[in-house]
C-alpha cells in the first residue's frame, strides 16, 4: 500500500458528496484531477471501492469501510496539527456546520470575525437541503446546523439568530393583473418549486395546504439559484427568502408580488443536539455567537430587519 493523505482526503470527500464533480467543487480541484486520484487510490485495492450505474456513482460496501478508515486516519492527522498549534497558545480544532441552502446568505457573516480571531481553527461548512442538514445533525457529523424550520424528531438546543422572510416573487416582465392580490392568486399562476426536502418548499406547501389552495406546479428545481434564474427568465413565480434576492430586487430583475398574508416569517436558528458534548472549539463558537449576534445583525443585516 502506498496511498497518500491527499488520496484519503479526496476519497473521503467523494464518499461524502456521492459525486466526483461535487467533490471537486468542495476541494477546489478540477474534476479530472479528482478522477485521477480516485483511480490511483483504487489501483491499490483488488476490491472495487466504487461503481457507476447509469452514470450515477455508488460506493461499494468495501468502499464504505475504507471511507471510515480514511476518515479516522485524517482525524488523527488533524489532531497532530491541532496539538502543535495548541502548544503555541492557539485555539485549534475543526468546526463543522451544516447549513440549509438559503442559509449560505446568512451563516458566513456569523463566522468571519470568529475565524479571523482563531486562525488555528479549520472550518467545514456543508451547504445542502434541509433533510440532509438534519441527517448530518442526527448522525452527529456536525457541531451545529443552521435551519429556518426546526426539526420535530430530535432533542435539540437552539439559539435564534435572525428573522427569515419569504415573499412571492416574479420577474419584472410578468403581469398578474390589478391589485389587491388575494391568496387566490396562487391558483392562477405557474409556481416553481424547490426540491423535496427543502425548507423553503416545506413552508410554501404548508401555506398552500393551510389555505386550501390548488396550484399549478410548473417545475421543480434543486437549488435556490436555479429557482431564481427560472423566475427571472419568466418561467413562473416562486416563494423565495428575501435574504437571497436582495441584489435582484435592487437591479430590477425580480419584484415582490404583495399577496395577502405575506411575507411568511420564520427564524434562522443555530441548533445542536441537546446531549452533545461540545469540543472546546464548538463551545467557544457558541459563546461568540451569543455575545456578538446582535452586533452582527445590526452591522450586516439592518436592511433586512427593516424590510417590510
Q: Which structural domains are found in the chain, ordered by start?
A: 1-89 (1.10.10.10), 163-266 (3.40.190.290)
Residues 6+ apart with CB under 8 A from 30: 24
261 φψ region: left (φ > 0), alpha (ψ -120 to 50), beta (else): left
Write the CA distances from 230 to 56, 184, 227, 287, integer angstroms.
26, 22, 5, 40
**pLDDT of 266 strictly over 60:** yes
pLDDT of residue 25: 86
Q: Between residues 253 and 92, which one has the greater pLDDT?
A: 253
Give dist(CA 275, CA 157) in Å, integer.
Answer: 9
Q: Name the pairing type of β-strands 156-171 and 264-273.
A: antiparallel
Rounded to two decimals, the pTM is 0.67
CB atoms within 10 A of CB 94: 16
Identify which of 108-117, 146-155, 272-281 has the greatest average pLDDT: 108-117
Amino acid at each position: 500500500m502506498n496511498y497518500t493523505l491527499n488520496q484519503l482526503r479526496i476519497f473521503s470527500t467523494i464518499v461524502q458528496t456521492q459525486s466526483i464533480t461535487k467533490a471537486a467543487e468542495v476541494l477546489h480541484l478540477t474534476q479530472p484531477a479528482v478522477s485521477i486520484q480516485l483511480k490511483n487510490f483504487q489501483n491499490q485495492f483488488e476490491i472495487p471501492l466504487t461503481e457507476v450505474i447509469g452514470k450515477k456513482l455508488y460506493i461499494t460496501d468495501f468502499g464504505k469501510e475504507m471511507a471510515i478508515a480514511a476518515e479516522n486516519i485524517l482525524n488523527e492527522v488533524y489532531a497532530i496539527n491541532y496539538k502543535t498549534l495548541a502548544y503555541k497558545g492557539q485555539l485549534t480544532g475543526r468546526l463543522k456546520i451544516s447549513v440549509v441552502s438559503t442559509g449560505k446568505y446568512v451563516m458566513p457573516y456569523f463566522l468571519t470575525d470568529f475565524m479571523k480571531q482563531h486562525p488555528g481553527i479549520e472550518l467545514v461548512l456543508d451547504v445542502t437541503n434541509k433533510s440532509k442538514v438534519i441527517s448530518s445533525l442526527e448522525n452527529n457529523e456536525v457541531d451545529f446546523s443552521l435551519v429556518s424550520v426546526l426539526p420535530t424528531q430530535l432533542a435539540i438546543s437552539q439559539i435564534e439568530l435572525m428573522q427569515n422572510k419569504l415573499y412571492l416573487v416574479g420577474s419584472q416582465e410578468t403581469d398578474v393583473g390589478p391589485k389587491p392580490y388575494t391568496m387566490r392568486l396562487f391558483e392562477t399562476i405557474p409556481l416553481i418549486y424547490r426540491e423535496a426536502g427543502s425548507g423553503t418548499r416545506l413552508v410554501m406547501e404548508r401555506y398552500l395546504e393551510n389555505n386550501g389552495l390548488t396550484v399549478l406546479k410548473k417545475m421543480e428545481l434543486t437549488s435556490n439559484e436555479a429557482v431564481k434564474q427560472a423566475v427571472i427568465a419568466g418561467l413562473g413565480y416562486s416563494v423565495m427568502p428575501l435574504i437571497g434576492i436582495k441584489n435582484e430586487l435592487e437591479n430590477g430583475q425580480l419584484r415582490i408580488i404583495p399577496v395577502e398574508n405575506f411575507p411568511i416569517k420564520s427564524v434562522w436558528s443555530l441548533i445542536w443536539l441537546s446531549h452533545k458534548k461540545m469540543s472546546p472549539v464548538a463551545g467557544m463558537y457558541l459563546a461568540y455567537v451569543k455575545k456578538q449576534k446582535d452586533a452582527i445583525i445590526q452591522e450586516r443585516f439592518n436592511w433586512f430587519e427593516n424590510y417590510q
